[in-house]
Chain A
Amino acid sequence: MVEAQKYFKFDWITIFLFFLLVGFGWLNIVSASHSGETINYLDFSQPYGKQLMFIFITIGLIIILLAIESKFYERFSSVIYILSMLSLVGLFIFGKNVNGATSWYDIGGMTLQPSEFAKAATALAVAKYISDLNTDIKSIKDQISVLAIVAIPAILVLLQKDAGSTLVYGCFIFILYREGVSAAYLLITLSIVILSLLSIKFGVIATSIVMVVIVLTHHFTRKRKPLIIQPISIILISVLICYGVKHFYDELLPAHQKDRITIWLSLEKDPEKLERMKKTIAYNLNESERAISSGGLTGKGFLEGTRTTGKFVPEQHTDYIFSTVGEEWGFVGSAFVVIVFVLLLMRILHLAELQKSQFSRVYGYSVAAIIFMHFLINIGMVMGLIPTIGIPLPLFSYGGSGLMGFTILLFIFIKLDSDRINQW
């Protein structure tokens, strides 16, 4: 009786939202990968057939994840983390190069992307470390340790030319903040981002002047003035950052990434060049926006999207899957997807706050933050709000590793959460 009850203690709302996204995602994969022929859903040579298979495998995976004892995840988190890092390192030797990124293992025709699993492993490791009784997250030493745990996978995926995934690891700053790290870290990060964008958009000198004015005004209007050396060093560091970022952008950044930023910040004014960019570097973005825009209020209907059927948006079943939603389901469908994501994320956060163990709470926070970063970057990119960064839409985009990685990430938390309910 007790055993039977236990299974119904899972958070069914989260599970429902999960399947809603996976199911709707699959419908859009069908649209994005078919080209007008009759659809055989069990045709495993087609992406939609494969994805259906992955979904079935995922269901099996979920049963296993929920069957495992919760303590297992906490106890073995270090082992899981180390194994996961090794799998990333192994890519340098055994990895398969696809589209310029060495992110895949080729195992008997099936490809596996270890970076998709590394996020869950890192989340476990960070949760474990922070929740350790000996850890004081306010101490610099422990902060550096956590940074190292996060930086290792972040740097490894960057070396494999998967810059998008590296960015995702930036989300751990939210977790640290939640766990008590000074807000200064967040503010400094934010300031650096703003300074960088300003100096690229308006130039180093203009940005520096604005910076000087703001800092000095602040300094001289304060009642208790610190030593003058403080504002001056802030200014010096800022100018250095501005200059460094500008130099990096101008000289070091690979051309294709530079162009993406150029387009995003509308820096290119020559209409002829811009037109050419629209056909080359910004082709995906342009087609994606047009596809979304053409959907109108209610969309063209399932399998009726002309741009989707004609495959005008490259990578539409993977990174650009949201443009299919836009074209075929219109504003109504797209807004629905955004709302479901927001609900899912808030539900996870809400559950995380309810956790009694710090491990579960930190882990839950990590789950929400990781999924959120993907959601933010992917949909932002597809709609042209963020420069093009290749990253899948969780639970939605085509890809077995991605789907399984996010399933593991989420369902470990659901399992941990069920424990909270069971701990009477």
Chain B
Amino acid sequence: MRQLLLFIIIGITGITFIGRLFYLQIYSSGDENLYDDNAIRKVYDYPKRGFVYDRNGNLLVDNQPSYDVMFIPREVKPLDTLDFCNLLKITKEDFIAIYNKAYNYSPRLPSVFIPQLTKEDYAALQEKMRKFEGFYIQKRSLRHYQTTIGANVLGDIGEVNNAIIDKNPYYKMGDLIGKQGVEISYEEVLRGVKGIKFIQKDRFNRDLGPYKNGIYDTLPKQGKDITITIDAKLQEYGELLMQHKRGGIVAIDPSSGEILLMVTAPSYNPNLLVGRDRSKNFTKLYNDSIAKPLFDRGLKAQYPPGSPFKVMNALIGLQEEVVTTEDQFSCRMGYYLGSRRLTACHSHVSPLSMNGGIAQSCNAYFANVYRRIIDKTKNPDEGMDIWSNHVKSFGLGNYLGYDLKIGNKGRIPDSDFYDNWYGENRWASTYNISNSIGQGEVETTPIQLANMMAAIANRGYYYTPHIIKNIEGETIDTKFTTPNYTTIDKENFEPVVQGMFDVYNNGTAYSLQVPGIEICGKTGTAENFMKIDGVKTQLTDHSIFVAFAPKDNPKIALAVFVENGYWGSRFAGKIASLIIEKYIKGEITRTDLEDWILRYSLEHEYEKPYSGEDFGINKNSTLEIVDDIEYKRLKEQLKKLSS
């Protein structure tokens, strides 16, 4: 034993060491790559972010240089903080807060101290930069908007957050990424690929030269320019018309599915979300929970569509052969089941056939058609599903698949929906008769309605709406160039189109005619409610209008929706006619409509629910005009636009 003890201890030590080595080097050694190696500094070379042009080749977004003050917490040496803070226009508390936050993130990795300095601040700081050890300046490129419109379309870029960094290793602290609009939709196209240089450093963070003579280094790949389908002039015009109103407009070129304009009101100047003030301004916009400027009403506002949906029921009625264009239905100021009035209606000639039904927007007519569709089969379940599938073939009730990241599905009920609601076999067509006139359970968004118009304009098919027209050197996704066919036969569209044409000719949009353009349209109003102090209160109806033009070879299909604008032709219809004329003719002959729209404001209507007082709606609401100074400003803007 005495001779063996040391032998044994030496042996055990050797085995323990090899075991420990095995644990360290093989068992717990993750595949360490260059990116995780803190002995290698990664220097990124940021490529130019692609520009954005409108459909006519006008430059909308390019870049401007910006300068980030970066720092590595460990390397910061005691400095004249007062001088430094003054240069950066921050307080000492800010300084300490930023420093500590970055130190907690990592004392060794670079963090952003102050992002996106202006040129002036940069010039002042640069002279003294050498005095502040551990700090350096990283040049980046920021967006520069050549326009004040289209914030919801163009979007913005901002710093990546930790969640994105964790999910996508491409992004590093301080990188910029698309946050909204096309910037996020086409992030990868626009941003390009940054280049990287690996530099060997020592533990004092000093550079020792390229790692392995730079064999792993890569060059940046420039971002690609994109052209979007938006017509900037038309967009600007649309935004101008929507001043002092809330709502959305979406216009689509039916022959291609290209989105010509996409207005949401109120909106904001995209330049607000550039640079150092981005987060401050964003918070302000975000916190406006009443006007909701960040809420894209064109894509997200989901409401019962109202009367425009009647044309859908007409189409299905013809397709299912439950009604002919000649069938007439009478209307006694509403639709009656026995002695009970299920749906009210306004006064017009009675009885009406399909053409008149559409042109006069007769509720009773469509209640009859709807009941014939649902009750075509013995079981309303079957009829309901047939109806639902027809509707869905127009892209309603689901995301359309367009290339913007936000939206809503809308809602198109089917038999399951009502089985869940009422129970199986416990409902009939009379239970959901409101669907016949676009109220009830049907809900859509403006872009869905615009797309429905495009499908009708094309007499039976539509292209998935999209915002991208062209990517430098690439073709766009084929799903945007393949037609989607509806379940309605081509010949069934003609009587409906004619009916919509007569809406302008002698119907509810008679006053909105534009000389020289054959417009087909349909007015709509949608009841809406709001909870005020916990009480469901009805507000003035939303004014809705859908249209396409010209009647043959249509060039534009659109949906306009103005919150609390009352009846369809009052606000939405006027705006729709103006946009159509502007797009097709390039100039406006119906200046009376234009003046009216600019003159009248709905701001007072939006204030009502928050006033705390009782208020009247619809018939009992009044119109208000903007003051002369504002009117003059709008007129001037209009003049600038048309020059």
- Chain A residue at minimal CB-CB distance from B28: A293
- Partner of A309 from the list B9, B25, B32, B200 (CB cut-off 8 Å) is B200
Q: Is A335 an interface residue (CB 8 A)?
A: yes
A178 to B22, CA, bound (A): 33
- Assembled-state Cα–Cα distance A342/B9 (Å): 10
Closest to B13 in A: A376
How many angstroms from the CA of A346 to the CA of B10 in the assembled complex?
Answer: 8
Q: Contact between A309 and B21 (Cβ–Cβ < 8 Å)? A: no
Judged by a CB distance under 8 angstroms, whether B20 is at the interface is yes
The reply to whether B38 and A312 contact each other, CB–CB distance below 8 Å, is yes
Query: Restricting to B1-42, which residues have a CB under 8 Å from any CB of A?
Result: 2-3, 5-7, 9-11, 13-14, 16-18, 20-22, 24-26, 28-29, 32, 37-40
Contacts of A231 in B (CB 8 A): none
Chief secondary structure at chain A's binding surface: helix
Partner of A338, one of B14, B25, B202, B211: B14
B201 contacts the other chain (CB 8 A)? yes
Q: Mark B186-212, 1 if CB is under 8 A from A, else 0.
A: 000000000000001111000011010
Whether the Cβ atoms of B37 and A306 lie closer than 8 Å is: yes
**Cβ of B84 to closest chain A Cβ, rounded Å:** 24
Partner of A293, one of B7, B18, B24, B39: B24
Asked whether, in the complex, the Cβ of A279 is within 8 Å of the Cβ of B107, the reply is yes
- Contact among A306, A326, A369, A372 with B211 in the assembled complex (CB-CB below 8 Å): A306
CB distance from A348 to the nearest CB of B (A): 10
Assuming the contacts A174-B5, A292-B24, A335-B18, asked whether A307 and B39 have C-beta atoms less than 8 A apart, the reply is yes
**Chain B 36-51 interface mask (CB, 8 Å, partner A; 1/0):** 0111100000000000
Docked complex Cα distance between A225 and B642 (Å): 115
Query: Which of A293, A309, A346 is the one whose CB lies under 8 Å from B29?
Result: A293
Min CB distance, A184 to chain B, in Å?
13
Asked if B6 contacts A295 (CB within 8 A), the reply is: no
Q: Are A349 and B6 in contact (CB under 8 A)?
A: yes
Determine if A385 and B16 form an interchain contact, defined as CB atoms under 8 angstroms apart: yes
Count of CB-CB pairs between chains A and B under 8 Å: 113
Known: A349-B10, A372-B10. Is A338-B29 also a contact (CB below 8 A)? no
Residue numbers in B under 8 Å from A342 (CB-CB) = 10-11, 13-14
Tell whether A310 is near chain B: CB-to-CB under 8 Å: yes
Q: Are A178's CB and B25's CB within 8 A?
A: no
Contact between chains at B40 and A306 (CB < 8 Å): yes
A81 neighbours in B (Cβ, 8 Å): none
CB nearest to A304 among chain B residues = B212
* CB–CB A383/B3 < 8 A: no
Report B347 CB to chain A, min CB distance, Å.
Answer: 77
Bound: A335/B13 CA distance, A: 12
Q: How far is it, in angstroms, between the C-alpha of A297 and the C-alpha of B200 when the chains are bound?
A: 23
A379: interface (CB < 8 Å): yes
B17 touches A338 (CB 8 A): yes
Is A170 an interface position by the 8 A CB rule? no
Say yes or no: A292 contacts B25, CB within 8 Å.
Answer: yes
State the CA gap A335–B17 with chains docked (Å): 8
Asked whether B203 lies within 8 Å of A330 as measured between CB atoms, the reply is: no
Asked if A295 meets B25 with Cβ closer than 8 Å, knowing A306-B37, A306-B40, A312-B38, the reply is yes
Task: Pick the residue among B5, B10, B29, B202 that contacts A294 (CB under 8 A).
Answer: B29
* A259 contacts chain B at the CB level, 8 A cutoff: no
Chain A residues, CB < 8 A from B21: 292, 326, 331, 334-335, 338, 383
CB proximity to A under 8 Å, residues B195-248: 200-203, 208-209, 211
Q: Which residue of B lies closest to A178 (CB)?
A: B2
B3 — which chain A residues lie within 8 A by C-beta? 178, 353
- Which residue from chain A places its CB closest to the CB of B17 in the assembled complex? A338
Contact of A90 with B by CB under 8 A: no
How far apart are the CA atoms of A372 and B11 in the complex, in Å? Answer: 11
Cβ of A203 under 8 Å from chain B: no
The answer to whether A100 has its CB under 8 Å from any CB of chain B is no
Determine if A180 and B14 form an interchain contact, defined as CB atoms under 8 angstroms apart. Answer: no
Q: Which residues of B contact A345 (CB under 8 A)?
A: 10
Contacts of A287 in B (CB 8 A): 203
Asked if B29 and A296 sit within 8 Å, CB to CB, the answer is yes
Q: A297 to B26, Cβ gap below 8 A?
A: yes
| B6: chain A residues within 8 A (beta carbon) | 174, 178, 349, 365, 368-369, 372
- A369 vs chain B, min Cβ distance (A): 7
Q: Is the Cβ of A36 less than 8 Å from the Cβ of B200?
A: yes
Cβ–Cβ contact B202 & A180, under 8 A? no
Q: Cβ of B201: which chain A residues have Cβ within 8 Å of it? A: 310
Find chain A residues with CB under 8 A from B10 CB.
Answer: 342, 345-346, 349, 368, 372
B2: chain A residues at CB < 8 Å are 177-178, 180
Task: Give the CA-CA distance A314 to B204 in the complex, in Å.
Answer: 11
| Complex contacts, A339 vs chain B, CB 8 Å | 14, 18
- Which residues of chain B come closer than 8 Å to A174, judged between CB atoms? 5-6, 9
Using A338-B17, A338-B18 as known contacts, say yes or no to A310 and B203 having CB atoms under 8 A apart: yes
Name the interface residues of A150-196: CB closer than 8 Å to any CB of B: 174, 177-178, 180
- Tell yes or no: A244 within 8 A of B by CB: no
A300 (CB) vs chain B CBs: closest residue:
B32
The answer, yes or no, to whether A73 is at the interface (CB within 8 Å) is no
Q: How far is the CA of A199 from the CA of B92 in the complex (A)?
A: 47
CB contacts under 8 Å to A, within B521-580, are none
Q: A36-B208, A338-B14, A383-B24 are in contact. Are A312 and B203 (CB under 8 A)?
A: yes
| Chain B neighbourhood of A36, CB < 8 A | 200, 208-209
Interface core residue of B5, B25, B38, B209 (most chain A CB under 10 Å): B25
The 8 A CB mask of B399-440 against A (1 = contact, 0 = none) is 000000000000000000000000000000000000000000
**A406 touches B (CB below 8 Å):** no
Kindly state the separation between the CA atoms of A380 and B21 in the bound complex, as whole angstroms. Answer: 10
Which of B13, B16, B107, B208 has its CB near the most chain A CB atoms (within 10 A)? B13
Contacts of A368 in B (CB 8 A): 6, 10
Q: Which residues between 346 and 392 of chain A lie within 8 Å of chain B, taking CB atoms?
A: 346, 349, 353, 365, 368-369, 372, 375-376, 379-380, 383, 385
Q: Which residues of B contact A341 (CB under 8 A)?
A: 14
Q: Knowing A35-B202, A36-B200, A306-B200 touch, does A379 contact B24 (C-beta < 8 A)?
A: no
B211's nearest neighbour on chain A, judged by CB, is: A306
Give the CA-CA distance A293 to B200 in the complex, in Å.
19
Q: What are the residues of chain B within 8 A of A311 when measuring CB–CB?
A: 202-203
- Closest A residue to B10 by CB, please name it: A345
- Residues on B with beta carbons closer than 8 Å to the beta carbon of A330: 25
Whether B7 and A349, one on each chain, are in contact in the complex, defined by CB atoms closer than 8 angstroms, is yes
With an 8 A cutoff between CB atoms, is A289 at the interface?
yes
Partner pick for A289 among B24, B32, B203, CB 8 A cutoff: B24
Report the separation of the CA atoms of residues A376 and B22 in the bound assembly, to the nearest whole angstrom. 17
Produce 1/0 per residue, B318-361, CB < 8 A to A. Answer: 00000000000000000000000000000000000000000000
**Smallest beta-carbon distance A347→chain B, Å:** 11
Chain B min CB distance to A365 (Å): 7
B39's contact among A306, A335, A380, by CB below 8 Å, is which? Answer: A306
Select one of A292, A314, A383 contacting B203, CB under 8 A.
A314
Docked-complex contact A293 and B14, CB < 8 angstroms:
no
Question: Chain B residues with Cβ under 8 A from A279's Cβ?
Answer: 107
Nearest to A369 among chain B residues (CB) is: B6
Q: Mark A303-328, 1 if CB is under 8 A from B, else 0.
A: 00011011111100000000000100
Residues in A whose Cβ lies below 8 Å from that of B26: 296-297, 331
Q: Which residue of B lies closest to A289 (CB)?
A: B24
Give 11 new A-B contacts, CB below 8 A, not counting A36-B208, A312-B39, A346-B11: A35-B208, A36-B200, A178-B5, A294-B29, A294-B37, A296-B25, A313-B203, A326-B25, A339-B18, A372-B9, A376-B13
Which residues of A does B touch, CB under 8 Å? 35-36, 174, 177-178, 180, 279, 287, 289, 292-297, 306-307, 309-314, 326, 330-331, 334-335, 338-339, 341-342, 345-346, 349, 353, 365, 368-369, 372, 375-376, 379-380, 383, 385
The 5 closest A-B pairs by CB, nearest first: A342-B14, A310-B39, A306-B39, A331-B25, A310-B202
15 pairs of residues in contact across A and B, judged by CB atoms under 8 Å = A292-B25, A296-B32, A306-B40, A307-B39, A311-B203, A339-B18, A341-B14, A342-B10, A342-B14, A345-B10, A346-B7, A349-B7, A365-B6, A376-B13, A385-B20
